Copies of this chain bind each other. A is one copy, B any other.
Amino acid sequence: MTHDGRLIRGERTRAAVLDQALLLTTVAGLGGLSLSQVADALGVSKSGLFAHWRSKEALQLAVIDHARAQWTDRIIRPALQAPRGLRRLWAVHDTRLGFYEAEVLPGGCFFANAHFEFNARPGVIRDRLAAELTDWMTFLTGVAADAVTLGELRAGAVAEDIAYQTESLGVCAVMQAPVLGRAPTFRRARRALLDHLRPLATDPTILPEPT
């Protein structure tokens, strides 16, 4: 920091490197991240990266932090402030499931990809990714919980089964994220998901419309 509070050079390049690294992650994954490519893409010397992070692994962990911070601030936090509850699932869909397709899935895709990539390699990154993916799935589970709960309550299922199937749905969402990202499968899967939710939301026998 300078005395007037603006970012000094180092912090600006640091942020730029993290952005570029996160971008390149979509090419060959977090494990395939190349310091040379990051530096070249930014027009920056490769050695300069080692002034900010002592190793490639440190940079990779920083990229995870970066992704986490980005999606937390811009997506999860606003989502948690959205209207909640089971009373009007279709309204919830408009505000939560709509942005879910556009914003949440890419984030889940990143963590799921990285998780699978590092799954076979013991180390700090793998453990970190496992924790991240768990957090992410918890959020996805919360998103899907309303729909599943509605259907199961109608069917008279016990709470245990609800929890189990809810978790399955969260896992399913993350798992299918990369596949969903590719058209035209994306549209078909999206339509299937919405067709599954719509009758539950509009069926007047489930819950009465709020007056």
Contact = CB atoms under 8 A, between A and B. Distances in A.
A176 B170 CA distance: 12
Contacts of A157: 151, 155
A196 to B, nearest CB: 6
Interface string A125-163: 000001000000000000000000001100111001100
Contacts of A64: none
Interface string A165-183: 1001101101110110000
A26 B169 contact: no
A13 to B, nearest CB: 25
Contact residues on A (Cβ < 8 Å of other chain), bracket: 35 or more
A45 interface: no
A54 interface: no
A8 interface: no
A10 interface: no
Contacts of A121: 27-28
Contacts of A116: 112-113, 115-117, 178
A115 to B, nearest CB: 8
Given A113-B116, A113-B117, 18 more contacts: A27-B120, A28-B120, A28-B121, A29-B31, A29-B117, A29-B120, A31-B32, A115-B116, A116-B116, A120-B178, A130-B179, A160-B196, A164-B192, A164-B196, A165-B165, A168-B169, A171-B172, A171-B175
For the complex of A and B, list the 7 residue pairs with the smallest distance between their C-beta atoms, beginning with the closest: A116-B116, A155-B155, A175-B175, A119-B178, A168-B172, A171-B172, A171-B175
